A and B are shown apart, each in its own frame.
Chain A
Amino acid sequence: MVMAEQLINGQVIEACQQGDRAAFQLLFETYKDKVFSIAVYSSGGDRAVADDVTQQIFLKLFTAIRQFRGDSEFTTWLYRLVVNACLDERRRRRRLLPLPETLAMKNPSEKKPQERQYARREVSEAVQAAIGELKPKFRLPILLKYIEGLSYEEIASVMGCSKGTVASRLNRGHSQLAKRLAHLNHPAAWGE
């Protein structure tokens, strides 16, 4: 667990349950990048949608936090909200739009890179696009593993399935990534 997350203890959560805005902000600052990252990858790179989803997740978190009884880890509870919100958003978009999942990912926040970094960024962008093309059941375990750094047990708890299912879905996800991106597996693409 990252040190910042260790600051989110029972006292902070209790303060949030009592409606303390500063405690909310602490919670928000701690988890915003991780939640936003999952929202971006789950929305096919659409940052406007990711903005909305992230806000809705935190809004829901703040209004529902009084129901959190500490039966599970706070992070498990949070990521369950995130996963459900991303799945809901996907369902909603599928009803409204053809399928924006395979949109090319954009990463405008990064500055013009040096030559060596350029190739790595190419790979990174291709990976982001490939992640967007995975089915949610393969994509979400990958995001929870690589963005959130959760263990298989934690992922299983968030997704409501067994550790074996997590292992199997990660295997399938990794395998699909390797097949889709095999053409990038040469030294130049890794910036070497």
Chain B
Amino acid sequence: MFSRHVTKDISAYCHGELSSQQSKQFAEHIISCVRCRSRFEEIKLGIKFAEQLPQISAPDHLWSGLESLLDKQGGPQITQIRQVPASSWRMRVAAAAVILLVVSLGVWWVYNKRSGAVLITENGKPYWQVIRLDGTPTIGKEGISNNGQLAVGEWLETDGKSKAQIAVSSIGSVDIDENTRVRLLETHATEHRLELARGKMSARIWAPPRLFFVDTPSAVAADLGCAYTLEVDDHGASKLQVTSGWVALELRDRESTVPAGASCETRPVVGPGTPYFDDSSNEFRAELNKVDFDPDAAARSAALKLMLDDARPKDTLTLWHLLTRVDGNDRVRVYEKMAALSPPPQGVTREGILQLNQTMLDGWRDELKLTWMGVGKGVPKPLAEAYWRAKNGLSRRLKEMAPK
């Protein structure tokens, strides 16, 4: 996870040109390396643009022009020599067939060749398969009996008595609970995106990190190889609960990275709140809610003091995120509590953290991950990571996520 940077392999990874072992190492590294992840995003965008390059049809007059040139040029190689076993009329039939084939394959090529395993409807739209689990879910306004197709742009809706399951291309599945409304926004080789307008969904994804996204009214959930539930209420607020791996919640420049066993809430306009472990105390969570979303600055500061009193070493997950979200004396308080619970590693200074030096923040976070994974200090890092992966089933998924 903390091995050499992988920026030079990004395009090869996206194009499935790496071996399974290399892909696994790539995926493991990119989950934790901010630098490589940022470059990954950039190159993935470049790929997305390059995929828009259309094949351009050659003009019809080219062949006649070429024939004239061939006639002018003469020479034995263009005379009608009949020494080959295949007769000319066969060639002509084949030529006619291939012209038809090339035209009809054009559409197939544009969609299928460039979108990997993405399924395409008869109307040429990418879609995901939907299975009815209960009641009568609807796609558009049509109820589905057992199976359905959710094409890009279409809404899937369940009422109080219905449930459905979506196969997310070939990378995972999403269970849709009752009273939920989701829309397929995009699905192609480098990005699969769903919109959750309201209700609850549970996702199990075995894709490389940052290929599957869910847009909600108050944040975007970016999968980092994981399983999670996401719930959106009627006001657009949402709650993410991660059961395996990692998920990032993002809105503009605000990002919360949520590991297995932790949750995070979001609010419209504000975006993602601060992640917290599900086994933290009720008081801790109540005060954190005020720190994140109370409009009164004094109330937020008071809540922070109470919250810090309740913090355990594991809660440095919450405190690390808060470092960049509070300022002044509040940031000093957060730093001091963190330093008391888990002293910063060598090279990470108080001044650097208080000035939000990104390298130092990342360095401290990497050190704290062992605690967040539930592994005691002193355990060798590779062993700790192997344990954590096994515990979360990540190792198996990383093998599965390697591009074929």
Query: Could you tell me which A residues sit within 8 Å of B by CB distance?
Result: 2-4, 7, 11-12, 14-15, 17-26, 28-30, 32-37, 40-41, 47, 51, 54-55, 58-59, 62-63, 65-66, 107, 109, 120, 123-124, 127-128, 130-131, 142-143, 145-147, 149, 151-152, 163, 167-168, 170-171, 173-179, 181-182, 184-185, 190, 192
Contacts and interface: CB of A to CB of B under 8 A. Distances in A.
Given A18-B84, A30-B102, A174-B50, A7 B94 contact: yes
Contact of B78 (A21, A107, A128): A21
B25 to A, nearest CB: 15
Given A19-B77, A19-B81, A181-B49, A30 B42 contact: no
Given A63-B73, A178-B46, A3 B105 contact: yes
A152 B12 contact: yes
B50 A40 contact: no
B253 to A, nearest CB: 16
A55 B55 contact: no
Contacts of B73: 59, 63
Nearest to A105: B56
Given A62-B77, A177-B50, A190-B186, 13 more contacts: A7-B97, A12-B86, A17-B77, A20-B91, A21-B67, A26-B98, A32-B58, A33-B55, A41-B53, A59-B66, A146-B114, A171-B43, A178-B42
A109 B52 contact: no
A119 to B, nearest CB: 11
B11 A21 contact: no
Interface stretch (B2-10, B266-274, B333-341): B2-10
A120 to B, nearest CB: 7
Given A19-B77, A21-B80, A62-B78, A4 B105 contact: yes
Interface string B30-66: 0000000001001101110111111111110011011
A123 B267 CA distance: 32
**Top 3 A-B pairs, shortest CB-CB distance:** A174-B46, A22-B91, A36-B58
B380 interface: no
Nearest to B7: A171
Contacts of A62: 70, 77-78
Contacts of B11: 167, 170-171, 174
Contact of B8 (A28, A107, A168, A178): A168
Interface string B305-344: 0000000000000000000000000000000000000000
A52 B260 CA distance: 60
A40 B56 contact: yes
B66 A175 contact: no
Contacts of A40: 56
A127 B8 CA distance: 23
Contacts, number: 197
B113 A123 contact: no
B101 A4 contact: yes
B17 A152 contact: yes
B359 interface: no
Given A15-B84, A30-B98, A66 B77 contact: yes
B83 interface: yes
Nearest to B112: A2
B56 A151 contact: no
Contacts of A178: 42-43, 45-46, 49
A184 B98 CA distance: 38
Contacts of A21: 67, 70, 78, 80
Given A11-B84, A59-B66, A190-B186, A33 B58 contact: yes
A4 B15 contact: no
B299 interface: no
A109 to B, nearest CB: 6
Contacts of A26: 91, 94-95, 98
Given A51-B62, A63-B75, A4 B102 contact: yes
